[in-house]
Structure 1
Amino acid sequence: MKEIVLDTETTGLSVREGHRIVEIGCIEINDLIPSKKRFHCYLNPERKVSEKALEVHGYTDEFLSTQKKFSEIVDEFLNFIENKRLVIHNAEFDLSHLNNELALLGKKKLNSENVVDTLVLARNKFPGSPTSLDALCKRYRVDNSKRKQHTALIDCDLLAKVYINLLDQKEPMLNFKNEDNEKTIINSNKINRYYKKVIKPTEEELMLHKKYLKNSLKKNFFN
């Protein structure tokens, strides 16, 4: 399955206050393996960046004023993510800004049903623990030393690694339906599977094991 790990940077927190997107980053992963396909752009938000946002990403008004507007890249962006599930950390924030930009152009909003929110995954998996991207990088030993400031592509790269770890750490489901019991399917998710052969002990091995247990139990280890 093809998925898109997505992140945005903005002029501020709330679309209600007129804040706009200043950067979009996307990395495609195919069956949880990052491909070479990426989408990235800086955007002219047509308004000033708030002081708090400037501290987060460092994109100045002067720099952003020379970039393309969302209307100029929207078709390319939508084509890149078309028919692919989106993977976003704190999806509510990014979707609200993306859908605001789309609404301003009279375009259809993105469907939240086709989105995986890694913040929700992490909170369900580690209730009560820190679930920021930095905290998850620390938990999974993902090197985030390049994240001096928040930039969309760097955050996408880190999130892709965190997302894969979040899925891989799920409890495996064992399937013992094989009649000959020669293979056990260990399925960590619907995509990735590997097969482990069950080796049955021989009669001689069973006899030696019983003999070993019998001799071991004769000793009283509690005296």
Structure 2
Amino acid sequence: MRQIFLDTETTGLNAESGDRIIEIGCVEMLNRRLSGRNLHFYLNPERSSHEDAVKVHGLTDEFLADKPKFAEIVADFVEFIRGAELVIHNAAFDVGFLNNELGLLQQESIDQLCGEVIDTLRMAREMRPGKKNNLNALCAEFGVDNSGRQVHGALLDAGLLAEVYIRMTRGQDSLVIDEVEASTAEVALESVDLSAFTLPVIAADAAEVQAHAALIAELDQASGGKTVWKAAEPAVA
């Protein structure tokens, strides 16, 4: 399973009104382990950032002036994310901006490039209703060190999100049995001759039978005589 944890920084909040992406950060995870492959770009948006946006990410127009334009990095970006499952915090925001940039260049949209987009903000709201679910709050909740996050940064935030996601979904992969493993196990079972084994049958002694009967009676009394085995006893007899 290939997942890309992605974050962007932008000149403002509205791609439809002309705001653009100024930073993209991507962190790759393979089978729930960080691969060490990242993709990171600062971009020249060809417009000024809103003052409030600069307060959030700290990327000034002067800093971005000599950076590549999105058109210059789009091929590398598309190659990196193609076919992967994207994991994004507040996915609608980032995907909206990415689709705007891709559309300006007549490129495929995110849903055409990637198999699925997971929104960790939606996940967090379902897990923690009524609580703050921004990235800082989730880092605090799941014990992820975000002490280096003085301002928002796309690559830094993508890395933090990857750590948060692993903790949010801890144990989830253990519930899934791979089809190949299942079929292999099935073949292994079929190849064993069970007739070669003598399995001992240990009968309960009188004290154990009495203790079991007492427990069954207590359960029957607690349920008001509605226990399932009562209805099944005549059939068994």
TM-score norm. by structure 2 comes to 0.72
Counterpart amino acid of 1:39? L
Matches within 5 A, 1:3-152: 3-111=3-111, 114-152=116-154
Gaps of 5+ in 2: 182-201, 212-237
Gaps of 5+ in 1: 173-185, 194-202, 214-223
Aligned-pair RMSD on alpha carbons?
2.6
Q: Is the radius of gyration larger for structure 1 or structure 2? A: 2
Aligned counterpart, 1:183:
none
Aligned counterpart, 1:168:
170
Counterpart amino acid of 1:129? K
TM-score norm. by structure 1 comes to 0.77
Is the contact between residue 84 and residue 115 of structure 2 (CA under 8 Å) also seen in structure 1? Answer: no
Q: Point out 4+ residue stretches in structure 1 off by more than 6 angstroms.
A: none
Give secondary structure in 1 for the equivalent of 2:52. helix
Counterpart amino acid of 1:100? N
Deviation at 1:128, TM superposition (A): 1.3
Going from structure 1 to structure 2, the CA distance change for 1:190 and 1:95 (only over 3 Å counts) comes to farther
Alpha-carbon deviations, 1:39-71, whole Å to 9, x = none? 000000000010011000100101101100000
Going from structure 1 to structure 2, the CA distance change for 1:190 and 1:2 (only over 3 Å counts) comes to farther
Matches within 5 A, 1:196-207: none
Counterpart amino acid of 1:40? H
CA distance in 2, matches of 1:89, 1:107: 23
Deviation at 1:113, TM superposition (A): 6.3
Is the contact between residue 83 and residue 115 of structure 2 (CA under 8 Å) also seen in structure 1? Answer: no
Aligned counterpart, 2:192:
none
Give the structure with the higher percent helix. 2
Deviation at 1:91, TM superposition (A): 0.2
Deviation at 1:190, TM superposition (A): 6.7
Counterpart amino acid of 1:97? F
Is the contact between residue 95 and residue 110 of structure 2 (CA under 8 Å) also seen in structure 1? Answer: yes
Going from structure 1 to structure 2, the CA distance change for 1:148 and 1:190 (only over 3 Å counts) comes to farther
Going from structure 1 to structure 2, the CA distance change for 1:49 and 1:141 (only over 3 Å counts) comes to same
Give the structure with the higher percent strand. 1
CA distance in 2, matches of 1:40, 1:114: 21
